[in-house]
Structure 1
Amino acid sequence: MSDTPRLHTAGTSTTLLDRARDLRPLIEREAATAEAQGRLTTPVVDALHEAGLFGIWVPAPLGGAELSPRELLAVFEELSYADPSTGWVVMATTLENGTAGAYLGDDAVERIFKGPRMPLIAGQGTRPGTAVREDGGFRLSGQWGFASGMLHAQYAHSLGAVEGTDEVRIFITPLEDVKMLGNWDVLGLRATGSIDYSIDGAFVPESQTHIFTENEPLRGGAIYRLGVLDQALICHSGWALGVGRRLLDELICYAGARAGRPGQIADSDAFHADFARAEAKFRAAKALVLETWDDTERTLDSGRTLDVRQETMVRLALNHVTSTLAEVARFVYASGGTSALRDGLIQRLFRDVHAGTAHITSGPQVLQECGRELAGLAPDQSWMIFTLEA
């Protein structure tokens, strides 16, 4: 097991955040092309690699930056501000790169992380396929949906239930074992290449698998003691922060360009009040996210794991910022008039928000369970993914 109990602090987070910020002009220029082709463009993917941004979650012993939760939030916020699809691809692939590096066996890590570039791993961690144990590993079969970033990946990350047991594992397979189903025709996040895929009886060595709920890393520090699910909450929280801020900033530009013209929203008292409310709601939701992850970092850095209330709060903070983002998007779209209706940035942001907020991590069941725990109605229960159980 890893002998590094504390969060990793390499002093590189500011540099990586600056690199992400420096890529904004390129990402913005390429966004329309990426949307049309259903995947990020080659110049953007190459630039992300060159900036080291696909390694931000990979354990330091494997050459990654192994950023802390707050540092990851900042990078995802910056990239998602530039383009929601770019932020989504980076958050999804870096999560799966990082957890593979932390939890897979030594043989697998040697194979996967030996190249000059960080590998990109993409897939689906819900709705499991079926795995049959055999000598040295498993035979994996199944079909998975919404594999974020799959068109950019070299490996698939797939959830599978081991036949005849209660065991659920993550399986990492080379893309040659994957059949792409080519059905990414959606309202928003079109440039993420999040297609469905299937695997039919591929052999997966045991070292290329790990228990889904694993929270004791073989390499790397305390962030990996969150487990896969809680780490995924970092992804979606950072994404919501970036997209929400961009929506409000675009509305500021829209209103400012119309100042002084009769009948425009810039001169509307009602708009002024509504904008103030939207700004306050979004800033408050962001403050809850940052406060919650500050508390989480202190716990991890002390060598402890999260208690039930902290597990509740990381889920609640994501759920709240996600619902707030949806409110902000509706307000900005309605305020943008015909400019929002036509093809353009506000319209694309609106569509991307309503794709991203449909993710299972921010669903109504999670909110209900959070409320039950906060109200003291779940004594002696613990979080099992999205529900509280005794």
Structure 2
Amino acid sequence: MTAVRGDLVAAARDLQPLLRDHAAAGEATGDIAGPVADALHDAGLFGMWVPRTLGGAELDPLPSVEVVQALAEADPSAAWVLMAAALATGTGGAYLGDEAVAAMFGGARFPVVAGQGTRPGRAVRDGGGYRLSGSWSFASGIKHAQWIHTLGVVEETGEPLIFVLPVEQAELVDNWDVMGLKATGSIDYTIEDVFVPAAFTHHGPTETPVRGGDLYRLGIIQFALVGHSGWALGVSRRMLDELAALVRWKAGRPGTMADNPHFHTTYGEAEARWHAARAFVHDAWDAASRAIGEGRPLDVRQKTMVRLALYNATWAAEEISVAVYRAGGTTALRAGVLQQYFRDMHAGTQHVTSAPGVIEACGRQLGGFAPGHDWLYMNLVPREG
């Protein structure tokens, strides 16, 4: 397998024209276009979080935010698929057993791993592995995947495990009929009594890599926070840029917003909101990156801040999308970039990482009302021991 080389942030920006050209086709088919998937492979972006020992980039959080932001500025669905698949592929490379990695990472391209890591299925022990059953939703990018990454709970112990298995062993349910993020193809799937060897599993909340460096002490959920932060910033940045371009294009006509002080105020406030959200994301991840660079696990406050930064970025982006939609008038109503981005943004707000319980838990932790607690995925729970 060819190792990832070069600047992945620059590579993502170079792909923007291609992604923009194919965005409408992806919306129509409910899947990112073949040329887009090929270009993401060719640029090495599916290997963004794959360990260097497997040829990946092992990319740090801040440039990872910029990669996803750059892709989201061109097509939110393509960015969403990339961040979901890069997470499952990269953490599989870091946390799975040697047998699994040998089977998955032997091709000319990085494998694409997709699935769902929140609602769990059921698993029972069976010799050297487990038998897994369940039904899951929101498998973003699974139409391009060779492997499924999915959460199950072992009935005998209650342990949450990530199971990785060939996509052919699941039944895919092509039911992605949604308002936004249409091209992600985030369909449902079911698995019925499939044997998964133990080497193809790992503890769900693990922060202890089998291979790769200290980056993988983040654990799966922190990688998700990185991706979703970049996504929110990219979507809202594109909306602001499109609105400004639209108003400039109409300048000189009677009643144009280009001469409207109220519009100037609205736009200035939106820009302030975007830059504040970006600064918070970068500040939180700069602190987290310094910790992992020094070989230290994130403490509970650092985990809180990266969650709070994502929550803030998501809902700032939602506010920006509403302001842009209103200012865009009938142009935003019709099919086109503003309408698509408005719909995609409101689909993105439904993700568990920006649910109301997150801000409540952040407030409890930062206010000192949860001593002895730590984060388990997106929940603040009593620390074990």
TM range (shorter): over 0.9
Decide whether the 8 Å contact of 2:4 with 2:56 is kept in 1.
Answer: no
Change (3 A) 1:119 1:17: same
Please point out which of 128, 143, 154 is paired with 2:146: 154
| Paired residue secondary structure (1:336) | helix
Q: CA offsets, 1:277-300, max 9 Å, x none?
A: 110011001100000000001000
CA shift, 1:382, in A, is: 1.3
Is residue 148–residue 167 contact of structure 2 (8 Å, CA) maintained in 1?
yes
- 2:212 is the alignment partner of 1:220: yes
Q: Give the equivalent residue in structure 1 for 2:319.
A: 327
2:85 alignment partner, one of 84, 93, 105: 93
Partner Cα separation in structure 2 for residue 384 and residue 203 of structure 1: 27
- Matching of residue 377 in structure 1 with residue 364 in structure 2: no
1:12 shift after superposition = 5.0
Q: Which residue of the other structure, out of 16, 37, 49, is the alignment partner of 2:41?
A: 49
Q: Helix, strand or coil: the match of 1:131? A: strand
Give, in whole Å, the separation in 1 of the partners of 2:223 and 2:44.
20
- Give the superposition deviation at 1:19: 1.5
Q: Displacement of 1:361 after TM fit?
A: 0.6
Matches within 5 A, 1:25-40: 25-40=17-32
Q: Structure 2: which amino acid aligns with 1:236?
A: H
* Mapped contact 2:4–2:55 kept (Cα < 8 A): no
TM-score (norm 2): 0.97
Report the equivalent of 1:114: 106
Q: Residue 82 of structure 1 is aligned with which of 74, 88, 95?
A: 74
Alpha-carbon distance in 2 for matches of 1:212, 1:316: 22
User: How many pairs align?
Assistant: 380
**Distance (whole Å) between structure 2 residues aligned to residue 11 and residue 291 of structure 1:** 27
The residue that corresponds to 2:358 in the other structure is: 366
Aligned counterparts of 2:126 and 2:265: Cα–Cα separation in 1: 64
2:138 match: secondary structure: coil
Of residues 331, 340, 345, the one that matches 1:348 is 340
- Alignment pair present for 1:16 and 2:11: no
Q: CA deviation at 1:253?
A: 0.4
* Deviation string, structure 1 residues 225-262 (Cα, Å, up to 9, x no partner): 01111111001001111111101000110110111212
Give the TM-score normalised by the residue count of structure 1.
0.96
Larger RCO: Structure 1 or Structure 2 (Cα < 8 Å, ≥ 6 residues apart)? 1
- 1:292 corresponds, among 284, 307, 310, to 284
Q: Which residue of 1 aligns with 2:96?
A: 104
Q: What is the CA-CA distance between 1:11 and the residue it aligns to?
A: 10
Shift of 1:95: 0.5
In structure 1, distance between residues paired with 2:33 and 2:9: 21
2:136 & 2:381 partners in 1: Cα distance?
A: 26
Give, in angstroms, the shift of residue 387 of structure 1: 2.1
Are 2:125 and 1:133 aligned? Answer: yes
- Partner amino acid, structure 2, of 1:322: T
Offset from partner CA, 1:77-98 (integer Å, 9 cap, x none)? 1111110001001000000000
Provide the C-alpha distance between the structure 2 equivalents of 1:265 and 1:179, rounded to a whole number of angstroms.
52
Give the Cα–Cα distance (whole angstroms) in 2 for the partners of residues 184 and 11 of structure 1: 32
Is the counterpart of residue 303 in structure 1 residue 295 in structure 2? yes
Give per-residue Cα distances to partners, 1:302-342, cap 9 Å, x unaligned.
11011111111010000000000000000000100000000
How far apart, in 2, do the equivalents of 1:301 and 1:315 lie?
Answer: 20
Please tell me whether residue 173 in structure 1 is matched to residue 165 in structure 2: yes
In structure 1, how many angstroms separate the alpha carbons of the residues matched to 2:141 and 2:40?
14
The residue identity in structure 1 corresponding to 2:117 is G
1-side partners of 2:291 and 2:56: how far apart? Answer: 23
List gaps (5 residues or longer) in structure 1.
1-9
Residue 42 of structure 1 aligns with an amino acid whose one-letter code is G
Residue 232 of structure 2 is matched in structure 1 by: 240
